[in-house]
Every structure is written in structure tokens, then in C-alpha cells.
Amino acid sequence: MASTLGTAQAPPVAPVTRGETGRARGRRGGSYPYWFYLPAAVIFTVFFLIPTIASFYFSFTRWDLFTSTWIGLDNYKTFFEEQALVIGLRNTLIYATMTAGLKVVIGLLLAVLLTSKIIARGYLRSVIFFPVLVSTIGVGLTFTALMNPELGLINKALAVIGITGPDWLVDPQLAIFSIALVDVWAGVGLATVIFIAGIVSIPSDYYEAAQVDGASRFYSFLHITLPLARPAVATVVTLALIGGLRSFDLIWAMTGGGPGFASDTIGSVIYKQYQAGFYGLSTAGSVVLFLLVSAIIVPLTWWLNRHEVD
């Protein structure tokens, strides 16, 4: 009982309030003079629009940064014949769904825990968020050392309690899952913060009413917290999925796509083509990645937002 009340009375989180007023202000003052848009338009055109169009052009050429020869769709053909791409495509989807799923589930559970009345709540919230602030490369190198099958701390610790640890990053079957777990560890803090903001913005009246009707805490969670935190779920799913689909830095720091090509994702396949100096080919790969992310995220956002209106 007390804890339900505690949840309801938790101090309102600042970003939510700020977001509301910001939106309201934007709507009210709709018209700015046109010159006001100019700086943003110039920056957008020079740094985003032109490179995007140029990249579409170069993806149809054999390009060595000095000269380019038009070769039509050959780059796309080569890219799709790339053996690493088949593995990469599969890994990208596994990685994106696995990290997004775990971040939603674990993030939501942590958020419920961290909005309840527990000791050292502020401290625990910072602890959960801390890995988000650490550089991905730093996280990758640290876990590569920890996950070393012979010398790493994880397997040594497991050995103490009599378990033979798996070969984490050097087992071709396991590598991509090991990296995904590290990604969840490093990124779940952000999901938790978004969920906390979503949960504390639920008006306490609902919980009080449910309590009067004799609802259990689990029932309140299932029928009040979960549906009303839907916007937060939508945000987390979208962000985590985009992050997972374009995942590259952590994988590159931990395995470089290896052993062999076992943990390659589309991102690392593209980077390898770039490294090898196949600039046209890697540009074509980027276009493919752009289309793939759009094809997944656009319908998903539409679907999630449609439900939000209901």
C-alpha cells in the first residue's frame, strides 16, 4: 500500500514538464520570419542533403576517391553476393531484436523497482545510468578482457564455483550473443530513465482508485502502469531498434566481426569494404542499410503511434 502511494507521490520528473510546455509554445508561435530558417536550411543542405544525394550517386560507381566510373547496379550485385552480408544481415536482425527486447523488459523492471520506495534510490538510479556515459569503445575493450576464455575474470569467477564458462567471443556460434549482452548492459540505463519518466507521469489517482477497488500491486502494474507507459515503450523500442540495426562500434571494438565473419553485422561489413578501399561498394552498402532501417522503422513508428492515439 505504502509503496503504491510512494510511487504516485514521487517528485515529477523535470523533462516531462519541460516537454509539455515546449510543445505548447511551439504550437502557439507558428510563424517565424523566413530568414530565421535560413541558417538551419544551409546547414541541413550542405551537411546532410548534398552528401546524401552524392552518396546515392557514388553507390552506382567504382570510386577510389580520385576518380569514379559509372557501373550501374554492379556494386549492389557484389554487395548482395558478399558471403559476410548473409551472415551480417542475420546477425543484424538477431542483434537488434535481442538488444531491443531485453532493454524493454529489463529496463521496465528496473524502472518499476527504481520508482518504488527503496533505500538509496537516487544512488541506484545513477548506478544504472552510469554505463551509458562510458565510451562504447572503452566498454568494448574492458569486456573483451573480461570475456577472454582463458584469462578473463568472468570465466575465472565461474571456475571458482565449478562452472566451465563458455568461450564468449571466440566461439563463432556465441560471439554475437555475447556482444548483445554487453550492449544491453551498456544501454539499459537509458531505457530505464525513459521508463522512469513515463511511470512517474502517470497520475496517482488511477492507483488510488484501483487500491480502493482492492487491486493487487501486480494487477495495478498490468492494467495501469503498462498501458499508460506505452509512449515510453514506443520510444524505447524505436531507439533501441535503430541503435541495434546500425550497431557497429561495440562489435568492432570487441571482435572486429570475427571469428572469421561470425559476428559481422551490416555496419561492420560496410566498414570493411571502406577499409579495403572499395569506396563505391561501401557507399552502396550504406544505401542498403538506410533502406533497411527505413523499411523497419517507418512502419513500426506508424504502428506504435497509431496505438498511442487510441
Partner 1 sequence: MRFNKSGPGRAAFVALATASTLFAAGCSAGSLGSSEEGGGGGQAGAVTITFLHGSTDTDVASAKAIIEAFQAANPNITVKDDSRPGGSDGDNLVKTRLATGEMAEVFNYNNGSLLQAIKPEQNLVPMDDQPWASTLDKTFVDSTKAADGKLYGGPWGTVQGGGVLYHIPTYQKLGLEIPQTWDEFMKNNEEIRKAGIDPVIQSYGETWTSQLFVLGDYHNVEAQVPDFAAQYTAGKMKYANTPAALEGFKHIQAVLEAGYFNKNYRSAELNDGIKMVADGKGVHYPQLGGVTANIENVAPGKSNDVGFFPLPGNDPATFGMTVWPGNGLYIPKTVEGDKLDAAKKFVEFMTTQQGCDAYAKGTPPTGPFLTTNCKLPADVSQAAKDTQSYIESGKASPALEFKSPIKGPALEQICIQVGTGQVSAEKGAALYDEDVKKQAQQLGLPGWE
Summarize as ranges the residues that interact with partner 1 (CB under 8 A).
46-47, 50-51, 53-54, 56-57, 60, 62, 64-66, 69, 78, 81, 83-84, 148-150, 167, 169-172, 256-262, 272, 274-278, 281
Minimum Å gap between C-beta 172 and partner 1 is 5
Grid cell at residue 222: 498490468
- Pick 69 or 126: Cβ nearer partner 1: 69
Minimum Å gap between C-beta 78 and partner 1 is 6
Q: What is the DSSP string of 105-162?
A: HHHHHHHHHHHSS-TTHHHHHHHHHHHHHS-HHHHHHHHHHHT-TTT-HHHHHHHHTT
Minimum Å gap between C-beta 54 and partner 1 is 4
- Pick 171 or 249: Cβ nearer partner 1: 171
- Pick 38 or 50: Cβ nearer partner 1: 50
Minimum Å gap between C-beta 34 and partner 1 is 23
Cα gap 184→188, rounded to integer Å: 5
SS3 86: helix
SS3 69: strand
Residue listed under C-alpha cell 541558417: 39
Residue listed under C-alpha cell 569503445: 137
Peptide bond into 259 cis (omega under 30): yes
- Pick 83 or 126: Cβ nearer partner 1: 83
- Pick 54 or 295: Cβ nearer partner 1: 54
Q: How many CB atoms sit inside 10 A of residue 121's CB?
A: 15
Minimum Å gap between C-beta 277 and partner 1 is 5
SS3 215: coil
- Pick 183 or 264: Cβ nearer partner 1: 264
Q: Burial letters for 144-161: b for 16+ Cβ neighbours within 10 Å, e otherwise?
A: bebbbeeebebbeeeeee
Minimum Å gap between C-beta 111 and partner 1 is 37
Cα gap 61→63, rounded to integer Å: 6
